Amino acid sequence: MRGLDYQWLEALDTVVINGGFDKAAQVLFVTQSAVSQRIKQLEKWLAQPVLVRETPPRPTAVGRRLLGFYRRVQLLESELHPALAPDGLDAPLPVAIATNADSLATWLLPALSPLMQAGRLVLNLTVDDESRTLNRLRSGEAVAAISSEPTPMAGCISDRLGQLEYLCVASPRFIERYFPDGVHGAAMTRAPAVVFDQHDDMHGGFLAERFALSSVNWPRHVVRSSEAFVQLATQGVAYCLIPDLMIREELACGELVDLMPGQGVVRTLYWHRWALESGLLATLSQDCISHARRVLQQ
């Protein structure tokens, strides 16, 4: 029986990345019929489909697993090539990491900076809520993920990084307008908040636990940027939950005020990566884990 052909996986990957068979054929310098034939051969070998034929095509569950496998193999090859090159020159390794916005805004880039300054890697960062970043690792879109989920996927390792403490903050002007009689449930139904996206459950959980408010009972701005959270709060147009690491200066000078001292939200973060990583990828993971443990609460 013929084994798995990497040309089949290359065709699948190229179709998914480029959103169709025509563009995949152009990238691979083959005919559209050749691309289609490779996909059909892969599906015949598996006895199940790997693509949902819609516009654009998307991988099935088994297709996603194959893409994850193929992209990990590509990464290992990229890491191996410099060691085999006769001139010994190291090309930067492309590394995809799935991160939450708050880690990106606080500790992640300083952790990666030494390797980037040495010219050893180029980054492809995907930003998502920490409850969903593992999907990127599962699909092969990332080789590492920062997640609030402690349990690793099969074939992966999870290391505890530490905790981010989120404070509920607002400017003095905002407090004067929306909380003149203190912070209570009725005021929270009028005061505009900030959330990361429509799936962000942190703020809703905070209001449900502290004030028994439903998820539809309060106004919110949807802003996919941690830095913008701080700007909206300091400009006096919203209040928000934000990591204390980001606003220590604003709290110290009174530009922002902790609305509910001692009643913030704590999120524990974990670094997930494939168990077989080595070389530069292993160094990257260790640098991120060590730096996060120095910066985050333990």
Shared-domain flag, residues 121 and 258: no
Residue 68 falls within a domain, yes or no? yes
- Which residues, other chains included, contact 39 with Cβ-Cβ below 8 Å and sequence gap of 6+? 8, 11, 12, 15, 50, 51
Shared-domain flag, residues 153 and 185: no
Shared-domain flag, residues 72 and 37: no
The pLDDT confidence band at residue 143, using thresholds 50, 70 and 90, is confident
Shared-domain flag, residues 181 and 226: yes
Residue 1 falls within a domain, yes or no? no
Shared-domain flag, residues 151 and 290: yes
Shared-domain flag, residues 84 and 143: yes
CATH number of the domain where residue 12 is located: 1.10.10.10
Shared-domain flag, residues 223 and 191: yes
Q: What residue numbers bound the domain in which 43 lies?
A: 6-59
Domains identified in the chain, total number: 3
Average pLDDT, the chain: 88
Q: Is the pLDDT of residue 163 over 80?
A: yes
For residue 49, the SS3 value is coil
Shared-domain flag, residues 182 and 47: no
Shared-domain flag, residues 102 and 12: no
Q: What pLDDT is recorded for position 1?
A: 41
Over the stretch 181-201, which tens digit does the pLDDT of each residue have?
999 999 999 999 999 988 888
Tokens of 98: 């799935």
Tokens of 239: 């209040």
Give percent of the chain above pLDDT 70: 94
The pLDDT confidence band at residue 280, using thresholds 50, 70 and 90, is confident
Over the stretch 252-278, which tens digit does the pLDDT of each residue have?
999 999 999 999 999 999 999 988 777
For the stretch 57-66, contacts whose Cβ atoms lie closer than 8 Å and that sit 24 or more positions apart, written own/partner, are: 57/15, 57/16, 57/19, 57/20, 57/21, 58/16, 59/12, 59/16, 59/139, 63/12, 63/16, 64/138, 64/139, 64/140, 66/9, 66/12, 66/42
